[in-house]
Structures are given as C-alpha cells and as structure tokens.
Chains A and B, each alone.
Chain A
Amino acid sequence: MKQKNIDNIIALSNDLRWQIGDEFHDNLAEGIYADAAEIVKVSVHKPNGDNRLRLDAKIDKIITSKTWGFPLMFLILAVVLWLTIVGANYPSSMLAELLLNTIHPALKGYASALGLPWWLDGFLIDGVYMAVAWVIAVMLPPMAIFFPLFTLLEDFGYLPRVAFNLDHLFKLSGAHGKQALTMSMGFGCNAAGVVATRIIDSPRERLIAIITNNFSLCNGRWPTQILIATIFIGATVPASFAGIASLGAVIGVAVLGICFMFLTSWALSKTVLKGEVSTFNLELPPYRPPRFWKTIYTSIIDRTLIVLWRAIVFAAPAGAVIWLISNIHVGDLSIAAWMIDSFDGFAFLFGLNGVILVAYIVAIPANEIVIPTILMLTVLVTGISGGAGAGVMFELDSANATGEILRAGGWTLLTAVNLMLFSLLHNPCSTTIYTIYKETKSVKWTVVASILPVILGFVVTFLVAQVWRLFA
C-alpha cells in the first residue's frame, strides 16, 4: 500500500514535470528573486542605489586599467617571490645549521654513547632524521613567508582582480582565470596549489588546474634550479655576467613552465576533458582591510603547517629508503650502485645519468632532498672523497665545491641543462600526488596528473640531448 502511494507520488511528479516543461527552474528562480525584491523594497533604504563605494570603485579602476593593471600585477608577484626567496635564505641557513650541523652530530654522539648498533643508528639518524631535517630546513622558511603574503593579498580582495585581468589568456587555453592564482600558489607549493583549485567551481577547468599545477616551479625546486644554474650556466659566461646569466636561466625555466602550463591546458581541454561540464562566473568581492596578525596566524596554521606535516610524513620513509639502498649490498655493490649502473644507459639517451634518475625515484616524496641525494650517490659511485658516508645526504657550503663533485661524477653543461628541465618536468612529489587524489577522488586523474609531466620531461630532455649532440 505504502509503496504504491510512493510510486504514485513519483509518477505524478514525472507527469507534472512533463506538463510544466523546461521552464520550471527559470520560473522558480525568478519567483524567488521577485519575492526578495518585494521584501527589500519595504525594509531596505539605499540612498546611493546599487552603486559601490567610491573608494572601491577607484581602486578597481586602477587595478584593472590597461596601463596599470599588468605592471602592478607583475610588480606584486615579483615582490612576493623576491621576499620569499631572499627572505628565506637567512632562516633557512640557520635551521640547516641547527638541524643538520648541530643536532645531527649530537644525535650521533648520543647513539654511540648508548651503544646502538650501526645499522639502527644509520637507519634512524642518517636516514629518517636527515630527510625530515632537510625538508624542514628548506621548506619551512619560504612557506612561512610566501603563504602569509599570499593570504594577505587574498583577504584584501586583490586576487579575484588578478583572475579577472588574466582570464582572457586562460580562456584561450581552455582554462579559468582563477588558475592564475592556483598557479601562483604552486610557486610556493604544488600541494597547496592543488588544494587552492577549490575556488574554481567549474569541473573541467578545475581538473585542468589540478593537472597542470605541477608546471609551477615549487619552492622545493627553486634551490635546485638556482644551485645548478650558478654552477654550470654561470660558468659559461665571463665572471662579471655570471650572476645575470644564471638568474636568466632560472627565470627562463620558470617561464618555460608557464608555457607548458598553457600548452597542456589547451591540449587537455581539447581532448580528454572536452566532455566535462564547463561554466564560468567570477565574483569580485568588495575590498576589505585584512586583519594582519590574524591572517598571519591562520595562514601559518592552516596552510604552512599542514603542508609541512604532510611533507614530513612522506619524507621520513624516503630517508629510510635512501639509507637502505646505499647500505644494503648485493654481491659487492650496494643496491644504489646496482640501480645506477642499470639506469646509466637509459639515462644517457636523455642527457642525464643513472645517479639523477635514481635520485628522482627515491626522492619522489620531496624535491628538497634531490640535490643532497644526488651528491651522496655521486660520491658513493665515484669513490671520490667528500660527504659523510654511505646513505648520509649532504650539501656543501660553497657552490664551487658542489660543482667539483658533480663534474667528477661526469656532469657536463648538457647534464646541467637537462637536470634543470627534468626538475621542472617530472612527476609531482608524493605529497602532491596524495593531495590530487584527495581533491579529485579519482585514480584516473591522479595517474594522468602524475604521468603526464614525466612523459613531457623525457620527451623534452631527449630532444634537447639529441639536438645538442648533433650540433655541439
């Protein structure tokens, strides 16, 4: 009886819906707004009509003007990046001094005083602790500067205007203007950039923004780019121009990343994603003075620490693996050496070497530990002096000393260029991959987002290597 009644209700609703036709939603929406207008007419008195505050309108006129809009935007982005990179140097080296040069030896001392077996001590302190310490030292300061600055701009209401100004460029590649922001966020951290895509409410454009976020050079990769450019690119020109040349190379790589972002966005929107629903709307909220300290506090808690925590969770096992593969021996070679040997031929095709590929495989969890891993592995296989022992990642104070080790490992200018390219174009770190999965809840898109950049990376480095060898 009950079921029959319910079937009746559903049948009746189907029937009525068919009779009303397509207009239902329109009519309902119009009806609600008509009611709203009546209510507002009685209770609200607006002497200025619908016009916005004069100050707001004035700010908007400047921010979105043809003359000032773009220069202002680049200026603000440049200042934010400059403050982040330069400002992070000092606390970063302090943290490194504390965590790597003070606490690490102290821990080693305790361990030997306690009489821990060498393998446990190595595994825990040289492996796990070092990886975590490295990630914190490199990652925390820039993020603690970048995210609050970004959040202040966001709370003030500037970021939606950036999306507004740039939307046309993004539309040409089938993306949403708000991708400009998720992309900029990616310059700080790709995982945070992927979370930020929540502001894009159109399914197709959101997926595009998620998949292409990895093309923004994140702060785990900036130091790699800067170091390698200083050592190899700077050396190709007279010393007085070295600084400018290496800076130009780093900016070039970042811009190349933006180009790849546009290109991939366009290709995705024309192929695999063309069936996804696409809508567009962008609300430009009124300007509100941000509450400075509160913003700083919440952005550090909400963004920086959460991302840092995730990175640590992923870096710890990576440190363990790195230590294990360089200390477990099969025959007379360590696993790491075996891997490097077998990858060497393959890597040669791409103008890289086995060390780099192994480093990228074991350092999936965090881009920050790629260079220390490369140095450690290079020392391991070449047998030159330096470093702190098998499985102990290290970095050197001077770029020159680092360069010597790398050159001894067989690095050429081509290796350096291709490493910079590969650092831009390779799979996202595992924190980001995990975040992509959480945001899309789809294995398919997670796989696409992870594999696509590696394929591009291999293609690009392959082409560069062949052309280089043909002409050089």
Chain B
Amino acid sequence: MEVKPKSACDSCAHFNAAGLKKLGVDTSSFDHVIALAGNPNTGKSTVFNALTGLRQHTGNWPGKTVTRAEGGFEYNNEKYKLVDLPGTYSLLSTSEDEEVARNFILFGKPTVTVIVVDASRLERNLNLVLQILEITDRAVLCLNLMDEAKRNDIEINTRTLARDLGIPVVPASARYNEGIPELIQTISEVANGTIVCKPHRIKNIPKNIEKAVEDLSVEILKEYPDMPNSRWIAFRLLEGDQHIINLLQTGEFEEYIS
C-alpha cells in the first residue's frame, strides 16, 4: 500500500501557511488543475470558497451549482486552478450536469480530483466516489461536514477508509475552515507525486458483466495501450454512451487521452 494514511495533525506539521495565497477568480496561469466533485448538498461550494477565498453562493439545496465555477490558489509557489463541478449523485446518467462533470474528469485532464463527501452520509456518497475512482487515479477524498457527523456520534476511521479506497482521506469542516490547510497540503502532495494513489476498483459486478468489461477492455488496450481507465470506457460503451462512441469514431479520442 503506497498510501500514507494521513491523520489531521500529521499533516499540520507539513502545512506551510506562509506559502498559501488565495487567488480568487484569477486563474490566468497555473501549474495544476484541480477538479472539485461531489454529491449535491455536501458543502462542496463551501470547500471551493474556503480554498479560493471566493464567496460563491452556497445554498442548502441540492443542485445549486449548475454552471462550472472556477477559482484559484497558490501554494508553495505553484498555482492551482480549481474547477467546481456541478453536484451530482452519479456519473452514469444522461443529465446535463452529469455530462459536464463526467466529461471534465475524463477529458479535462485535472491533475487531482478532490471528491467532497458528507461524512454523516458516507455510504450514499461513496456511489459517486467509486465511479470517479474508475476514471482517475489521482484523487483526494475530503470528508466534509465532520462537525455534523460528530453531533450524530458517527465515528469514521480515516485510516482504514484511505486504505480501502486507495486515496488519501482528509477530514474537514469547511464551514469553520477546519481541515482546509491539510486538504491543500494533501492536494499538493498528490499533484507532485509524493503520494501515489492506488484507487479502489468496483468489485461486486455479476460475472457476465465483469467478463464483458474485461473483453472490451482488452480490445481497448490493444488500440490505446496507455489508457489508464479502459475499464470505465468499457462501462460507458456497454451503457451505449454516444459521446464516447462518437469520439472513438472520429478519432478525437486520441487527442483527449494523450
């Protein structure tokens, strides 16, 4: 297991507060693109605002951010561009929001994808997390709303969670700015390759589907040997995703993955 499980104080020590500069909407030049994904109503926009110093409206209302918002911050002399994706329950459907989120994670080449989840509703949120981990292997889980989870007496073992998911897990309460420094530190470590993720892949699939996915994935890898997420592409092809099929047929696919 390459992942260093991070507890909050363990990373505090590394956090370099002097190196942080919130850039607001200035995303003119940057070294890394960070995608921010998550279910609706998990405080994703609050995390976005805490990271960028912006004040986007964050409603207690599922499906608030419909358009993509962008912002930036600078940490240890590297500039990060942050893209706030629409909040979705899943990436498997055809709705406009999901398409925006899915295509950005797949084709927008974010250096790191930060997945914001509601700590007291982890199981439901993992649906999206596991899908994203099929697409990308550089991700950070931001376990947000820890304050609410504590009020509900919910205990989460971030160590085993990070081990099972294969990505770093950072507990946070973005409303009170708790955990944000740790999150920034972890993002930078994943972006610079200090932490190498080994993401979980979906296991509980019926045998016939698993076999179909494998067969298809072998064919895809024959054509595109460097594809990191051939399994996801196989899922999408089996689903009949016209967007992917069109990209394959026109040959544009290559540009996106290279």
Contact = CB atoms under 8 A, between A and B. Distances in A.
Interface residues on A, range: 35 or more
Given A9-B223, A294-B55, A154 B60 contact: yes
Contacts of B189: none
Given A9-B237, A16-B238, A43-B156, A298 B56 contact: yes
A79 to B, nearest CB: 20
Interface in A260-294: 283, 285-288, 290-291, 294
A201 B55 contact: no
B62 interface: yes
B205 interface: yes
Interface stretch (A32-40, A244-252, A342-350): A32-40
B152 A20 contact: no
B249 A290 contact: no
B160 A29 contact: no
Contacts of A290: 60
Contact of B215 (A12, A38, A46): A12
Interface residues of B, number: 65
Given A16-B238, A154-B60, A5 B223 contact: yes
B243 to A, nearest CB: 13
A48 B153 contact: yes
A470 interface: no
A2 B223 contact: yes
Nearest to A155: B60
A47 B153 contact: yes
Interface in B50-76: 55-64, 66
A65 B249 CA distance: 56
Interface in B112-131: 120, 122-124, 126-127, 129-131
A297 B58 CA distance: 12
Contacts of B160: 42-43
Nearest to A181: B61
A32 B131 contact: yes
Contact of A27 (B63, B120, B151, B209): B209
27 contacts: A5-B222, A6-B223, A6-B248, A6-B249, A8-B219, A13-B216, A13-B234, A17-B237, A20-B238, A27-B209, A28-B209, A31-B204, A36-B123, A36-B124, A37-B123, A39-B165, A40-B122, A40-B123, A42-B161, A45-B156, A45-B157, A151-B59, A154-B60, A155-B59, A199-B63, A298-B56, A298-B57
Interface of A: 2-3, 5-6, 8-10, 12-13, 16-17, 19-20, 23-25, 27-40, 42-48, 53, 151, 154-157, 159-160, 198-199, 201, 283, 285-288, 290-291, 294, 297-299, 301-303
Given A5-B223, A44-B155, 8 more contacts: A5-B222, A17-B240, A25-B92, A31-B205, A40-B122, A43-B161, A151-B57, A302-B57
Interface of B: 40-41, 55-64, 66, 90, 92, 95, 97, 120, 122-124, 126-127, 129-131, 148, 151-158, 160-161, 164-165, 175, 200, 202-206, 208-209, 212, 215-216, 219-220, 222-223, 234-235, 237-240, 245, 248-249, 251
